[in-house]
Amino acid sequence: MGSAKFRQTFNLEDFIRPSRQCWQNAHHWLFKRGVVLISNELDKDPKTVSKMFDDISPTYDVLNHILSMSVDVGWRNQALDELSPGQGEVILDIATGTGDMALLAHKRTGCEVVGVDISRKMIEVAVNKWSERYPGDGYSAIEGDALHLPFPDGTFGSAMVAFGIRNMVEMGSFLDEVRRVLKKDGRLAILEFSVPSYPVVKQIYLAYLTKMLPFIGGLQSGNRTAYDYLSHSIRKFPSPSSMEQLFEEHGFIVKRSIPQTMGISHLYVLGK
């Protein structure tokens, strides 16, 4: 009888759930104080991600051009060649950031752009850039999570997401949500970093990703955590063939899948 209390059964989840929550709270507390946490699991919690992009928004553009040596401009142009929005068409720019895709799309074709981003400060930079270059209409930016887009079904003929899908906490739900807001026959262009498959290029690129990028990014922005996150999230991102499978599982047709600059970046052009 005395040992009855030891025979009591416990549900393991009852212990795991509170400790997960406790870990998340601790992580946010530490993150807000600039403490670097490196773990194998990337924290893609929307609050953490938006805070991180808010923090690096003032230096984002400068660093982007230094770290990519402006090769990204060619990648962006290629995405827009494929998407080819028409003049006056309204296209959706998901994870619009500081608005580089939106501005380029408008400059090339005169299309209008609706941008969505989870970081208010990234959007502020985008809106300022747009109003300096194109005073007047043409760009609306909405602060929000791409997993819950504030548009009715079948709103857009074209959508794009440049270097943003990597940050989505659940890529499948994200794809379902984008598919929902696309018209029948709508198109989606996705640009994302990838790890090259050629052995020598891969070694050099991984050395750059793990050593140089966090070092230069941390020095310039004062936020090493964000650039460690960038490096981790690129290395952990699925291969192009896994991505193509995921797109098809979520009802998209893979129209084009194009490695860019020896596989450092990849362009996917999808149809609904």
Ligand X SMILES: C[S@@+](CC[C@H](N)C(=O)[O-])C[C@H]1O[C@@H](n2cnc3c(N)ncnc32)[C@H](O)[C@@H]1O
State the nearest-atom distance from the C-beta of 165 to ligand X, in Å. 9
Please identify, using beta-carbon distances, which residue of 168 and 186 lies nearer to ligand X: 168
State the nearest-atom distance from the C-beta of 211 to ligand X, in Å. 20
Please identify, using beta-carbon distances, which residue of 15 and 134 lies nearer to ligand X: 134
Please identify, using beta-carbon distances, which residue of 85 and 164 lies nearer to ligand X: 164
State the nearest-atom distance from the C-beta of 222 to ligand X, in Å. 18
Please identify, using beta-carbon distances, which residue of 187 and 190 lies nearer to ligand X: 190
State the nearest-atom distance from the C-beta of 239 to ligand X, in Å. 20
Please identify, using beta-carbon distances, which residue of 118 and 188 lies nearer to ligand X: 118
State the nearest-atom distance from the C-beta of 100 to ligand X, in Å. 5
User: Residues in the site for ligand X, rule: CB under 6 A?
Assistant: 46, 49-50, 53, 95-98, 100-101, 116-119, 122, 145-147, 162-164, 167-168
In three-state form (DSSP H/G/I as H, E/B as E, the rest C), the secondary structure along the chain is: CCCHHHHCCCCHHHHHHHHHHHHHHHHHHHHHCCCCCCCCCCCCCHHHHHHHHHHHCCCHHHHHHHHHCCCHHHHHHHHHHHHCCCCCCEEEEECCCCCHHHHHHHHHHCCEEEEEECCHHHHHHHHHHHHHHCCCCCEEEEECCCCCCCCCCCCEEEEEEECCHHHCCCHHHHHHHHHHHEEEEEEEEEEEECCCCCHHHHHHHHHHHHHHHHHHHHHHHCCHHHHHHHHHHHHCCCCHHHHHHHHHHCCCEEEEEEEEHHHCEEEEEEEC
Please identify, using beta-carbon distances, which residue of 18 and 58 lies nearer to ligand X: 58
Sheet holding 265-271, edge to edge: 139-143, 112-117, 90-94, 156-162, 182-193, 265-271, 253-260
Please identify, using beta-carbon distances, which residue of 119 and 221 lies nearer to ligand X: 119
State the nearest-atom distance from the C-beta of 54 to ligand X, in Å. 8
Residue nearest to ligand X (CB): 97
Please identify, using beta-carbon distances, which residue of 164 and 263 lies nearer to ligand X: 164
The pairing of beta strand 112-117 with beta strand 253-260: unpaired
Residue 216 half-sphere exposure toward CB, CA atoms < 13 A: 16
State the nearest-atom distance from the C-beta of 230 to ligand X, in Å. 7
State the nearest-atom distance from the C-beta of 257 to ligand X, in Å. 19
Task: Let me know: does 264 contact 257? Beta carbons within 8 Å.
Answer: no
